[in-house]
Amino acid sequence: MDYNFHWRPVFRQLPDLFEAGLLTLEVAILSMILGIMLGLILALLRMNGPRPLRWIANFWVELARNTPALFQLFFFGFGLGAFGLHLTPYLIVLLGLSFNNAGYLAENFRGGFLAVPDTQIRAARSLGMTASQTYIRIIIPQVLRIVYHPMTNQMVWAVLMSSLGMLVGFRELSGETQFFASKTYRIFEYFAVTAVIYYVIVKIILIGSKLAARRLFKY
């Protein structure tokens, strides 16, 4: 093998890469927050919603789960662009990931809702709680515990999937890496270092999730 490794240019750009890593984390976290809220709504609509809304929710979940995530980003980028709606790369990635997260999480949430017995609803309602109090205080906390680990997986997935951002011109961690790599031709070195950064980000998420679970779920 006569390839000469040159790590110095990569290390010089490390601060930029870290900054891009934070951007990756930011867009992943925001897409998870949006994804959880939308996913909950989709799950509830699929179970109890009026018919047209239930159809829309079903369609959303089907599309999000059964088409490539990359195509979903392209829809928010080039798709909407074709209709004259030009979003910034940041928004394309945020909306694309949120759309995808919501679809996957909706399925997890639906399973979680089905796992909480109906009798919990009756017990809460018999105490005079309204339907929304019952959901917010009794049902959703139990569902969140059931879906906690699938949710952590989705968060990891969102971090890794955000790398698709480089294909719509978003300079998150992968986009930034691609930019410097093509400038310096140290392609292998840049992507190797970036892989390590991804690995560390994901590890931090997994450890954080484990610690949080210990605090959150005492029962």
Partner 1 sequence: MIEIKQLHKYFGKLHVLQGIDLNVNKGEVLSIIGSSGSGKSTLLYCINGLEPIQQGQIMVDGIPVHDAKTDINKLRQKLGMVFQQWNSFPHLTALENVALAPKIVRKMSRDEAKTIAEKQLRHVGLGDKLDVYPSALSGGQQQRLAIARALAMEPAYMLFDEATSALDPELVGEVLDTMRLLAEEGMTMICVTHEMSFARDVSDRVAYFHQGHMEEVGPPAQIFGDPQSPHTRKFLASVR
Residues found near partner 1 in the complex (CB under 8 A): 117, 119-120, 122-130, 133, 137-138, 141-142, 145, 217-219
Residue 205 · residue 159 · CB < 8 Å: yes
Helix and strand counts by DSSP (H, E) for the chain = 12, 0
Min dist. Cβ of residue 219 to partner 1 (A):
4
Min dist. Cβ of residue 92 to partner 1 (A):
38
Q: Which is nearer to partner 1, 129 or 156 (CB)?
A: 129
- In degrees and rounded to multiples of 5, residue 174 shows phi and psi of -70, -40
Min dist. Cβ of residue 118 to partner 1 (A):
10
Residue 171 · residue 179 · CB < 8 Å: yes
Q: Which is nearer to partner 1, 54 or 145 (CB)?
A: 145
Dihedral-angle region of residue 144 (phi above 0 means left; psi in -120 to 50 means alpha; beta otherwise): alpha
Min dist. Cβ of residue 140 to partner 1 (A):
10
Min dist. Cβ of residue 116 to partner 1 (A):
9
Rg (CA), the chain: 21
Q: Which is nearer to partner 1, 81 or 111 (CB)?
A: 111
Q: Which is nearer to partner 1, 66 or 126 (CB)?
A: 126
Q: Which is nearer to partner 1, 4 or 126 (CB)?
A: 126
Q: Which of 50, 168, 58, 154 is nearest to 108 (CA)?
A: 154
